[in-house]
Chain A
Amino acid sequence: MSRFLRTSSLSIFFLALFVGALVGQAWAGWLQFNDQQVAQGMGEIGLGRYLVSADFAVDVTENWQSEYLQFLLYIVATVFFVQRGSPESPSHGGLGTDKEQKLGEHTLKDSPAWAKAGGARTAIYAWSLTLVMATIFVVSWLAQSIAGWAAFNETRLQQLQDPLSWGTYLVNPDFWSRTLQNWQSEFLAVGSMAVLAIYLRQRGSAESKPVGEPHYSTGDKAG
């Protein structure tokens, strides 16, 4: 058990942060929701009811979709785009040769089974990280659109207005405001990380070049 904790501490650390932050968001969101309800002369709801509400769901999923989009784009963009001096960038763009990717005759004894299988399975496995991240992004964004639609209509009914259809909500400013306010921050964070890592260092971090590495060193050559 202690070996597992030691060798998986990064995952466990972020899982604990995730759970803690989600619990905090649920608690704060519930109090905020009830404040608004009381201010509008509506009824308060219990925490359990709030956890299955559209308001909580849209607040959670709008952040999930943007985070997965961020990593999805970063994974794909770093295949094709280069940033000289960035440890996150490949030294040259492209999918790499079989030798570089340890495929075909270059597979190792311990290579994943699907990497050694060849054909369609290896082709799918070669993009599996992107495919899974893209799927989670699409599912989260779809969930945001449905939960956001329900939450938006809940407010419209409180204001004595007719509800909108889901299709109409997809072109409503509320949907795009929620979406783009998250996207812009993710894009800024990723872009600034790619540039700042050219000149700045964090000793010991896999996300940084070694402290003494020249600024011009890029990607795999930088490690």
Chain B
Amino acid sequence: MHRWKTLTLSTAAFVLASGCSSTHEGEVERVAEQLHAALRVDDGAAACDLLSEEAQEELQESGDSCEVAVLEAGVSPDGRVEKVSVYDTSGQVRYDDDVVFLSEFPEGWKVIAAGCEKQAAAPYDCRVQGG
């Protein structure tokens, strides 16, 4: 009986550990907000620091540096946060005029896509995207 109780408790622990993502929601929202804040003041370097490596490389494919390309990408930085979702190592911040996707890296949460528009039955189409 004791073993069954242990198994049940272990299961509950798994559910709590995997189902509860609220601990990361604040961090995810903070990084997305920092990106928008950097874009609002045209601080390309600060914005690029918040992007994943692949997102930075994708921006540089235009021939410009990341710092320049991220400001010209056309991401709307003035929206209001409507919803934050976090599932394990992935996060999404929905604004009233933008959607930002994030992923957890060893150095912290990074933006993998921003300036995203919903496509019918397909992944979002994003102005900044990588990873």
Binding site for B on A (CB under 8 A): 15, 37, 40-45, 52-58, 60-61, 64, 132, 135-136, 139-140, 142-143, 146-147, 150-151, 153-163
B18 touching A57 by the CB < 8 A rule?
yes
Interface of B toward A, CB cutoff 8 Å: 1, 3-4, 7-8, 11-12, 14-15, 17-19, 21, 52-54, 85, 87-92, 101, 103-107, 110, 112-113, 116, 118, 123-124, 126, 129-131
Return the contact of A150 from the options B12, B18, B112 (Cβ within 8 A): B18
Contact B131 A42 (CB under 8 A): yes
CB-contact partner of B105 in A42, A53, A159, under 8 A: A42
**Which residues does chain A contribute within 8 Å of B124, judged by CB atoms?**
160-161
Hey, which chain B residues are within 8 Å of A60, CB to CB? 14
Distance A157 CA – B21 CA, assembled complex (angstroms): 14
Are B19 and A160 in contact (CB-based, < 8 A)?
no
A150 near B88 with CB under 8 A, answer: yes
> Are A41's CB and B54's CB within 8 A?
yes
Task: Report the bound CA distance from A159 to B124 in whole Å.
Answer: 9
Given contacts A153-B87, A160-B113, contact A139 B12 (CB under 8 A): yes
Q: Chain B residues with Cβ under 8 A from A42's Cβ?
A: 52, 89, 103, 105, 112, 131
Q: How many Å lie between the Cα of A139 and that of B110 in the bound state? A: 35
Q: For B19, list chain A residues within 8 Å (CB).
A: 54, 146-147, 150
Query: Is the CB–CB distance between A41 and B131 below 8 Å?
Result: yes
